[in-house]
Amino acid sequence: MFMDHGYYMGGMHTFWWAFWLILLIIFLYAVWSPQRRSRQPERESPHELLQRRLAQGDITPEAYEQAKALLDRDLGKT
């Protein structure tokens, strides 16, 4: 007669270990995937924001030049 002493790891027990392991791997990949990181928008620099506002017509060219001069002065540019 066959006696099981808990050494056999087959059947449904193996299936459930594999299932949870695969599920964990999928979850971790979804959290740390390169595609997810690339979807995060990069922050605009002050100059890019100013250029975008000018292009959208939110500010006049004169206001753009004035703000750009202030930004350049603060950054040490001439």
**For residue range 10-61, what is the model confidence (pLDDT) as tens digits?**
667 788 889 999 999 999 888 887 766 666 567 888 899 999 999 999 999 9
Q: Which amino acid is at 57?
A: G
pLDDT band at 69 (very low <50, low <70, confident <90, very high): very high
Predicted model pTM: 0.44
Count of CB atoms situated within 10 Å of the CB of 50: 20
Q: Which of 5-9, 37-41, 64-68 has the highest mean pLDDT?
A: 64-68
User: Crossing angle of helices 46-56/61-75, nearest 10°?
Assistant: 180
